[in-house]
């Protein structure tokens, strides 16, 4: 059995437009044991579980992959919260504070003209941290502490996942960033990262990229990010992992293939980070 999925349709918010929330509960959740579980929040939720709602008709097979990894003992049983995107996806996922850097004003004005409005990522994260996370913790048997809470996404979803940990390091233990769309805003998020990255010891970061289609331009940006992480004291393979997938494209099909790697890195047995404070 591949766990249980429950939908909360048109979840309301004071900060952003309503959207569906899909919650996946691991096998054994309803066994009556009273056990509590880590939580993984994921963006682009319509692409995770169902090919009919997925962008290209191929989903991430997240329920099947989670069930297999749990059964093999490679990850801890965890709850997955899939947050559907909206027509304002780019505005909600583009980190705003990088655009407020001194050299970011012309870029911010250009992007906001293209979007027809402001970057909404700060509002999106308020929705996530002040509304959705509280609802999930009230409704389901979660382990609500920071060391049991993770966030993940692909492309622009990778950017907003990184931004969430940088802005709310007391709420998230780690981020999984697949095919992170670093070229957004001419790489300005990397400039922000130099001062916003949490100190090592209490967080994990996973990054990857392919070499085809949109991913073909990502490697030089990712190398800059890797240098920042290394200089900050993050240790490869321990609290930071970057992977390159030769021949992989920028699509749900590719992310479906390699999702076990970030899941295992973040949710592996004993994987919670409880070392020195920020």
Is the model's pLDDT at 271 over the cut of 60?
no
pLDDT digits (tens, 9 = 90+) for 212-260: 999 999 999 999 999 999 999 999 999 999 999 999 999 999 999 999 9
Residue of 188 and 278 predicted with greater confidence: 188
How many domains is the chain built from? Answer: 1
Q: Is there a domain that residue 246 lies in? A: yes
**Average of per-residue pLDDT across 95-108:** 88
Q: Is there a domain that residue 90 lies in? A: yes
Q: Is there a domain that residue 221 lies in? A: yes
Q: Is there a domain that residue 243 lies in? A: yes
Q: Which residues contact 96 (CB under 8 A, 6 or more apart)?
A: 118, 119, 120, 121, 122
Q: Is there a domain that residue 274 lies in? A: no
Q: Is there a domain that residue 161 lies in? A: yes
Q: Is there a domain that residue 273 lies in? A: no
Q: Is there a domain that residue 188 lies in? A: yes
Sheet holding 39-42, edge to edge: 4-11, 19-25, 79-83, 39-42, 149-154, 174-178, 204-210, 240-245
Q: Domain holding 63: CATH number? A: 3.40.50.1820
User: Residue 14: which domain range?
Assistant: 4-267
Task: Label residue 114 by pLDDT band (50, 70, 90).
Answer: confident
């Amino acid at each position: 059995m591949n766990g249980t999925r429950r939908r909360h349709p048109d979840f309301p918010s004071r900060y952003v437009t309503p959207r569906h929330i899909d919650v996946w509960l691991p096998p054994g959740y309803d066994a009556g044991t009273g056990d509590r579980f880590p939580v993984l929040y994921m963006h682009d939720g319509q692409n995770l579980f169902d090919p009919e709602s997925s962008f290209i008709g191929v989903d991430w097979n997240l329920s099947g992959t989670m069930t297999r990894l749990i059964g093999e003992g490679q990850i801890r049983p965890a709850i997955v919260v899939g947050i559907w995107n909206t027509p304002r996806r780019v505005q909600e996922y583009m980190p705003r504070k990088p655009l407020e850097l001194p050299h970011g004003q012309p870029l911010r004005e250009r992007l906001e003209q293209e979007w027809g409005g402001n970057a909404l990522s700060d509002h999106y994260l308020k929705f996530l941290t002040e509304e959705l996370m509280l609802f999930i913790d009230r409704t389901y048997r979660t382990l609500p502490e920071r060391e049991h809470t993770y966030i993940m996404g692909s492309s622009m979803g990778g950017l907003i996942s990184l931004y969430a940990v940088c802005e709310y390091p007391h709420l998230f233990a780690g981020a999984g960033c697949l095919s992170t769309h670093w070229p957004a805003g001419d790489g300005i998020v990397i400039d922000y990262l130099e001062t916003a990255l949490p100190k090592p010891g209490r967080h994990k970061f996973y990054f990857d990229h392919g070499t085809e289609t949109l991913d073909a331009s990502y490697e030089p940006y990712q190398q800059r990010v890797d240098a920042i992480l290394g200089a900050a004291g993050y240790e490869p393979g321990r609290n930071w992992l970057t992977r390159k997938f030769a021949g992989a494209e920028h699509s749900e099909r590719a992310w479906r293939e390699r999702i076990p790697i970030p899941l295992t890195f973040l949710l592996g047995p004993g994987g919670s980070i409880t070392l020195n404070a920020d």
